[in-house]
Amino acid sequence: MNLFLAFFLAGAVSASAQAPAASLMRIGAAAAVKGVVNAIAPGTTVGRVVESGKPLFLNDHVTTDAAGRLQVLLLDETVFTVGPNSDMVLDEFVYDPASAKGKVTARITKGVFRFVTGKVARKDPASMKVTLPVGTIGIRGTIAAGQVSDQSATVILLGPGSQNNANENPGAVSVFNTSGLVNLTQPGFGTTLTLGQPPTPPTNMPLQLQNILGALGVPPSGSQSSSGGTGTSATQASGQGTAAGGALVRTSGDILNLADSTNNTQQGDSQTQLRATLSQMDTIADGLSTWDQVRSIQTGVGYVNGVGDYTCSGTGGFCSAGGSGQFGFNISVDFGARQLATNNSYIELISGQLPTTSASIIPVDFSALTGNAAYSLKSSDLSGDTGFTGTVLSFQNRDGTAAKDMKVDLNYTNMSNDKAVGSQTVPISATAPLY
């Protein structure tokens, strides 16, 4: 199979810093360049002037002057538009044209920007993210714009809307930092992040949108805006009729024919490493899922209903001499909304040494969770008996399929310090259980 791959690991920057310019990996090209745009490639100390049609390389540090702007067209048809006084680095790019699998990470530290997601994000939205000095934009396949400084940022969803004419899924982004998370689902609405503060609630931002798009060179339309006045609407700014990144690339006049023009220096050991990396991406190992693997399931609701055995122990309560019993659970997962424990989810002790008791589980947003997909219930996640605090709900891969099962590890403690533990794994079904 003829593959073009571009691969970058942030931890390997120091190793690649000494690589000669001939070995740089081309990941796209510049288009619609205005003013002065410079790029510094990894392993170099002298920048180069970027012109329309010129290649861009992995980990290029791109800056614009006070009159500068450009489009960055990546091989998977992702499009970034960067405005004046802006600073951007493409930290990570992996792409296999045959499967559209890959990963895109961009870092924007200053200025104004707009992006249209390409094939990588449409294949798996969790595979693309944009990092800012004060937070991160998680992608669900969409078009968004923003303005960034080292202390604050504004992010606005452009679309496409639910009634777009390009047959695209409605756009949405998650904007988050260590203090909180906001989901933007309505075009024209945005959020502001400030260092050390959670993102503000979604707010209609027509003036901010007009200023950002004006800096990017998008002319006012004179038609109705999302706020009801005149100006550039979110729908028009998103390019609703050509919502897909590929459409924007094709109409730009800068078609990228880089797949067959990679340098010979990328062959040999490096090519072997790239193929191995792709193979790892294609293989889903059985066992505990990661949250990225769970988020690769983009639509649908899954249901888990089961009964498991527990054993208990204690020092003076019901289980001072040991004992056993059964626990049960009903749990649903809304994969599209990125929520665990929706739709009347609960856990209960149903028989045995300990008295029967139960707790409802409050929905948990997993859109920004990282690492292994094992969630330990907190007391704030429970309505009812908070003795179930510490019970772990974990997604399990099976037969090469992500999040095929859910494992419930019971960890219950009552007021008498009786402790019950047990475990049960149940397939995630598309059919709701009978309550």
Q: According to the model, what pLDDT value does residue 283 have? A: 52
The β-bridge partners of 92 are 105
Are 143 and 117 within 8 A, CB to CB? Answer: yes
Q: According to the model, what pLDDT value does residue 96 have? A: 79
Helix (H, G, I), strand (E, B) or coil at 148: strand
Number of H helices, E strands in the chain: 7, 30
Helix (H, G, I), strand (E, B) or coil at 40: strand
Q: According to the model, what pLDDT value does residue 141 have? A: 64
Are 319 and 312 within 8 A, CB to CB? Answer: yes
222 torsion bin: left (phi>0), alpha (psi -120 to 50), beta (else):
left
How far apart (Å, rounded) are the C-alpha atoms in residues 158 and 188?
A: 6
Domain boundary assignment for the chain: 10-251, 288-427
Q: According to the model, what pLDDT value does residue 160 have? A: 63
> What count of other Cβ atoms lies within 10 Å of the Cβ of residue 185?
16
**Of 337, 379, 382, the residue nearest 359 (C-alpha):** 382
Detail the DSSP E strand segments found in 97-177. Answer: 101-116, 128-132, 135-139, 143-148, 152-159, 173-177
Q: What is the CATH number of domain 288-427?
A: 2.40.160
How far apart (Å, rounded) are the C-alpha atoms in residues 404 and 426?
A: 9
> What count of other Cβ atoms lies within 10 Å of the Cβ of residue 363?
16
Residues of the chain with pLDDT under 50: 1-22, 161-167, 220-282, 434-435
How far from chain centre, in Å, is Cα 242?
Answer: 23
> What count of other Cβ atoms lies within 10 Å of the Cβ of residue 380?
9
Q: According to the model, what pLDDT value does residue 221 have? A: 43
**Of 396, 402, 372, the residue nearest 283 (C-alpha):** 402
> What count of other Cβ atoms lies within 10 Å of the Cβ of residue 61?
17
Q: According to the model, what pLDDT value does residue 223 have? A: 34
| Terminal Cα-to-Cα distance of the chain (whole angstroms) | 50
Are 77 and 119 within 8 A, CB to CB? Answer: yes
Please name the residue ranges forming H helices in 143-268: 206-215, 234-237, 245-251
CATH topology of domain 10-251: Jelly Rolls (2.60.120)
Give 376's contacts (C-beta < 8 A, 6+ positions apart).
390, 391, 392
Amino acid at 325: G
How far apart (Å, rounded) are the C-alpha atoms in residues 401 and 398?
A: 5
Q: According to the model, what pLDDT value does residue 122 have? A: 83
